[in-house]
A and B are shown apart, each in its own frame.
Chain A
Amino acid sequence: MSNFFEKSDLSRSDAESIISDTLQKCDDGELYLENSKSESILLDDNKIKNSSYSSDLGFGFRAISDEIVAYSHSNEISKNSLKQSSENLKSTLKSAKGVYNHEIPKSNKKYYENINPIDQKTLNEKIEILNNVNRYLRTKDSNVKQVTANFLGEQKSIEIIRSGGETLTDIRPLVRFNVTVMLEKNGRKETGVFGVGGRKSYDAYLQKENWKNVCDEALRIASVNLESKPAPAGEMKVVLGPGWPAILIHEAVGHGLEGDFNRKKTSAFHNLMGQKVASEGVTIVDDGTIDNRRGSLTIDDEGTPTEKTVLIENGILKNFMQDRLNARLMKTRSTGSGRREDYRHIVLPRMRNTMMLNGNHTQDEMIKSVDKGIFAVSFGGGQVDITSGKFVFNCTEAYEIINGKIGSPIKGATLIGDGPSILKEVSMVGNDMMLDPGIGTCGKAGQGVPVGVAQPSILINKMTVGGTKL
């Protein structure tokens, strides 16, 4: 547990009185303190390229009056600095006349342990694994021309102090192990990327030489791409594999169901609550409570315990994801979805682990039903314009489907669709739901936060595939 006041001229009771004084006529607000430690050990081009360590400390002070948010942050935890922030907030909210909402739900559940993953493995052990990865891949396939592998570990301690002195804390471990491999054959180059991670120690993901599986998967994807031919262009049927392809759900409907866009009526979904937005059989939840998952949180960044929020149930839109501000203004409750990248940023409603639940079809059935289309197994990133509802994502492993059979691999192409209508085009939901491997980061308003996705295989009746072959 970090003691934020230990080496400061600011005592906890000073801080509490400044907070209560600043927020007395505000509807909500808090002091958010954060201390994070992170490391990155990178092997690239046969060498340990980078071994770096970072320690970050700071606070963010927020006051809310009606719809107006005033925010101030600093790295200096001192009396002066907090007082200056307080003055900034007060000057913005001169005319505040709200009543502070002291209510905040409680829970004893924890979804990860208080560990510091950085200290649980020595630098030499990490370097040895990275060197083994490099050697293993270059020995396994002589076409391997480049290997990049890295460890990213972090421990973030946060403390939220609300008006009246109520204090909420959390310690969040997070690790990630990634391998990128580039192959070159007959003058052609292709890459494959794979990684694993979550809120446990590195060893939980890499025990018994499990790093070899990560290498094998990256190598397999690169090898498939080396044989790929130009992707088709135009509208066609698309079968998505289970797991990581749920980025589709994240981009197509996830962002559009975040509370802020709906309160502001800028989301294509803002007037669709209670209506049918997806085919029957499609159920989508956003769950912050799965043990040790990358997107899981014990409490969100406002102190609200996270939960499993049903967004779409059997095709019907049921809930938006809410932080305290948007929940109050939309007269509902926070779903524990208030998140921020760090103390430098304001809280926004964000996704945690966004999942489509199982149906009763098999992937085989889906493939067999397609005359002409593509089978997309793995993706890079995606993006959405929440206002027009149009979204894209980039395939990193995909195959053509001809007459019910999987054909040649095709080059990475962008797929584009329309969020509010795409889920109505889902004609089969598989029974093979899978979680992603734990490497996702979601960006919104310049803030990146760790998230997860999951889905079974699905068949989409039509999507536009952005290839080059007409």
Chain B
Amino acid sequence: MIKDQEYLSDKASYCLDLTKRLGATDSNVVVSNSISETVNFRNQKLDESNRSDNLAISITTYIGKKKSSISSSNLLKDNLDTLIEKCIETTKNTPEDEFNSLPDKDLLAKEVKNLDLYDDTHIKNENKIEYLERLEASASNDKKIINTESSFTEDKSNFILANSDGFLKGYKSSSFTASSVTVAKDDQSMERDYEYSSKCHLQDINDAEELGKLAAEQTIKKLSPKKIGSEKIAIIFDKRIAKGILSTFAGAISSSAISRGTSFLKDKINQKIFSDEINVFDKPDILKGLGSRSFDLEGVKTNTLKLIDQGVLKDYLIDTYNGKKLNLKSNGRCGGTSNIYFDNGNISYKDLLNSNPRCLYITETIGHGSNIVTGDYSVGATGFLIENGEFKYPINEITIAGNFKDMFKNITLANDLEFKYATNSPTMMIEGMVVAGK
């Protein structure tokens, strides 16, 4: 059983009291427990079962403007006493930083909103197995599929965040994730692809047969890829890749990158960085949302932000420390975005495919090729060549490159947004990118 609120609160209060007694002027404690149960299948047989039970505590102590932190998975009293003593000792010896402080009291969340993030259902391993049997049977239907690996995970977690200004709140959340990775083979090639479904509530998970079928279809489509020549071409990013471009944007407007001067979007507030049609929201109160939350990692309340309004940058993602440095108030984004998304564009998916006589449709990228200091982007890619709106043939062993400053201004979005992840984008087209191939 997952530890209840009372157990976690008791540990947090004990630590707050002890840090105060030992001389901390302020402190912050997070105590959490998560239990995760996974069953893995391979080639329609049970492959692995995994149960994990994780306890964690992290404590930050302040003495004036000095700060230090400790973390541990051992919640026994003796260990906590030793660690807190060590933390206080380290705090005393750490130089002051004028911006160190707990969040402003008036910004702290007053309530835990009911966002429907916890589903109490416990799905037994037998039922996970039954789901995976159906999923893998469906995924293995076509003879070209030579290997399947699928899994079902149930996660439950609970936490308490407390600080010496009297904040003490937390809540439970759950997630259920089913995934399938399939390998297909023909005379010329072997390819891998995947599909998955992750939800707060069990009943919202995709149908097993549907998930397996999708994974297999997506993999088989990639067989016998060709390499194309190097050229300048319009690129369409599948939703699962387009969301990565939104994540890079989020990284570049984090107050830490801005205050350190290591972002290509520094000093761009109120400037046009995307084309007119682009709007970006970060909405923390979507019911059952995978990124939903009542407050951020510091307890600061989170409201919806319109980060991009008709192409113009309106806000950074601000935490307390970097906010003080930039002379801005925290907007509850310590730890990053909640449910961030590009709002729908004006044209259909089909029209987007047809908007250029020839373009590339990218379904996977590899490599760590996004540089938020310079905005340079260069990654390995696989996908399909599209001619006159039709998928012609799969392509691989190419790279796509550009600079985000130009790419952002050339984005066209379809109107097919769905909330599958915590970060979501409709299908995206960027014109004028460079492909390197043969």
Q: Which residues of A contact B (CB under 8 A)?
A: 7, 44-45, 47-58, 67-76, 81, 85, 88, 91-92, 123-124, 127, 145-146, 182, 184, 188-191, 231, 233-235, 264-266, 268, 344, 346, 380-385, 387-388, 390-394, 411-418, 464-470
Contacts and interface: CB of A to CB of B under 8 A. Distances in A.
Nearest to B266: A189
Contacts of B368: 380-381, 383, 394
- Interface footprint category on B: 35 or more
Contact of B262 (A49, A124, A189): A189
B373 A55 contact: no
Contacts of B48: 68-71, 346
Contacts of B78: 7
Most buried by B among A265, A385, A416, A418: A416
Contacts of B68: 51-53
A340 to B, nearest CB: 12
Nearest to B74: A57
Nearest to B33: A75
Most buried by A among B146, B261, B264, B378: B378
Contacts of B397: 390, 416-418, 464
B190 interface: yes
B110 interface: no
B399 A392 contact: yes
B47 interface: yes
B366 A385 contact: yes
Contacts of B402: 468
Interface stretch (B79-87, B281-289, B333-341): B79-87
B392 interface: no
Given A51-B94, A88-B49, A383-B367, A470 B232 contact: yes
Contact of B95 (A48, A53, A264, A394): A48
Contact of A75 (B50, B54, B374, B434): B54
B329 interface: no
B108 interface: no
B55 interface: yes
B1 to A, nearest CB: 10
Contact of A127 (B46, B94, B366, B399): B94
B436 interface: yes
Contacts of A47: 95, 97
Interface of A is mostly: strand
Contacts of B50: 70-72, 346
Contacts of A387: 183, 190-192
A92 B49 contact: yes
B197 interface: no
A53 B399 contact: no
B72 interface: yes
Contacts of B378: 231, 394, 412-414, 466-468
B325 to A, nearest CB: 8
Nearest to B321: A49
Interface string B132-155: 000000000000001101000000
Contacts of B55: 75-76
A413 B371 CA distance: 10
A328 to B, nearest CB: 15
Given A394-B367, A413-B401, 17 more contacts: A45-B259, A47-B95, A51-B68, A51-B94, A53-B71, A55-B79, A72-B52, A75-B55, A146-B262, A233-B434, A265-B146, A265-B147, A383-B368, A385-B382, A464-B398, A469-B434, A470-B232
A264 B95 CA distance: 53
Contacts of A344: 52, 54
Given A54-B72, A75-B74, A388-B191, A464 B437 contact: yes
Contact of A466 (B42, B86, B399): B399
Nearest to A68: B46
Interface string B394-438: 001111111100000000000000000000000000000011111
Contacts of B70: 52-55
Given A55-B72, A127-B94, A470 B434 contact: yes
Contact of B51 (A44, A71, A234): A71
A124 B367 contact: no
B73 interface: yes
Most buried by A among B183, B225, B380, B437: B380
Contacts of B376: 411-412
Contacts of A124: 93
Most buried by B among A184, A191, A383, A466: A466
B369 interface: yes
Contacts of B260: 44-45, 146
B45 interface: yes
20 contacts: A48-B94, A52-B71, A54-B70, A57-B73, A70-B50, A72-B52, A73-B52, A76-B55, A85-B51, A182-B261, A233-B434, A385-B364, A388-B191, A394-B378, A413-B378, A416-B399, A466-B369, A466-B399, A467-B378, A468-B401
Interface in B286-326: none
Most buried by A among B46, B73, B149: B73
A69 B47 contact: yes
B379 interface: yes
Given A51-B68, A68-B48, A69-B47, A388 B190 contact: yes
Contacts of B73: 55-58, 75
Contacts of A44: 260
B90 interface: yes
Contacts of A468: 378, 401-403, 434
B231 interface: yes
Nearest to A466: B399
A178 to B, nearest CB: 15
A50 B79 CA distance: 22
Interface string B349-384: 000000000000000101111010110101110100
A233 B192 contact: no
Contact of A464 (B67, B189, B399): B399
Contact of B192 (A49, A53, A266): A266
A231 B87 CA distance: 48
B90 A266 contact: no
Contacts of A235: 230, 436-438
Contact of B69 (A52, A268, A411): A52
A320 B74 CA distance: 38
B165 interface: no
B382 to A, nearest CB: 7
B382 A390 contact: yes
Nearest to A382: B367
B367 A470 contact: no
B53 interface: yes
Contacts of A7: 76, 78
Contacts of B264: 189
Given A466-B401, A470-B232, A54 B71 contact: yes
Given A67-B47, A123-B94, A466-B369, A74 B53 contact: yes
Nearest to A413: B378
B192 A48 contact: no
Nearest to A235: B438
| 9 cross-chain pairs, A with B, having the tightest CB-CB distances, nearest first | A466-B399, A233-B436, A392-B380, A392-B367, A387-B192, A92-B49, A234-B230, A75-B73, A414-B378
Contact of B53 (A73, A264, A390): A73
Contacts of A68: 46-49
Contact of B366 (A56, A234, A384): A384
A70 B49 contact: yes
B69 A56 contact: no
Interface in B166-208: 183, 189-192
Nearest to A411: B376
Contacts of B396: 388, 390
A341 B225 CA distance: 35
